[in-house]
A and B are shown apart, each in its own frame.
Chain A
Amino acid sequence: MIRGQHGRLAWALHRISGIGVAVFLLVHIADTALLLAGPAWYDRFVTFYRAPAIRVLEALLAGAVLFHGLNGLRLVVMDLWPLQTRAHGRLLWVVAALFVIVFAPAAFLILRPLFQGEG
């Protein structure tokens, strides 16, 4: 099975982030369908995404998508090229490093209006 605590943590995070993104996907398909109801309906709902509290959720969502994608690529690499356990561990650190490098600016971008004070 999965070796080591880091592997187990990645496995749990993969599931949690997957469930979170799946739930948002359904919400997002529904809000996009409001396009068919006309501008008033669509704009009333979609401007909701600008609210400060919702932006925090959006940053979390971006983090979930990013982690799920990077960790998923790690799983594909491990399936295609069976590696030694030591290399598995290193690959997990690559995922963690890439996550931090991409997530920091992404979160800043999404949360920027909060730092500037909502006017």
Chain B
Amino acid sequence: MGTVAAGRPRASGSRYELWAWLFMRVSGVALVLLAFGHLVLMHVVYGVEQIDYDLVASRLTGPAGIAWRVYDLLLLLLALLHALNGLRVILGEHVRSARWRRVSLWLVVVAGAVFLALGAAVLFAFTPTLS
């Protein structure tokens, strides 16, 4: 995988890096729709002055609530993996020492697991206490 004649250099290196490169593009395009949609919903349809427990509870209840949970789960998964892979690349370039690079990589993996579990716990287990 060298450099193509025109355009930007292509991803090169290991098989893993090739998949990571592809994932960043595919998830990135999906996130433009998902994240922009989320921002429009929260800031245009609702507005932060309206967002509270009751509003979120009603949004995540009933058949439409299932659909929103699927939407949010997709957003959570793609955004988190996209963000952490981005951080991994940046850390890989800027952390000089091999040992600290390994430590920072593990921190990224652990943070990913913890925050994925935290976010998924809400979307799978949240049962609103309606007032």
A residues with a Cβ closer than 8 A to B are: 1-2, 15, 18-19, 21-22, 25-26, 29-30, 32-33, 35-36, 38-39, 42-43, 46-47, 49-50, 55, 58, 62, 65-66, 69, 72-73, 75-76, 78-79, 81-84, 106, 109-110, 113
Contact = CB atoms under 8 A, between A and B. Distances in A.
A83 B42 CA distance: 37
Given A29-B76, A50-B48, A78-B8, A43 B115 contact: no
B9 A35 contact: no
Of the four ranges (under 10, 10 to 19, 20 to 34, 35 or more), the interface on chain B belongs to 35 or more
A65 B36 contact: yes
A109 B86 CA distance: 30
A29 B7 CA distance: 37
A39 B53 contact: yes
| Majority secondary structure, A binding face | helix
Given A39-B54, A43-B52, A65-B39, A25 B83 contact: yes
A49 B115 contact: no
14 contacts: A18-B83, A22-B86, A25-B80, A29-B80, A29-B115, A47-B52, A50-B48, A55-B48, A69-B28, A72-B29, A75-B25, A78-B8, A84-B6, A106-B39
B122 A32 contact: yes
B6 A19 contact: no
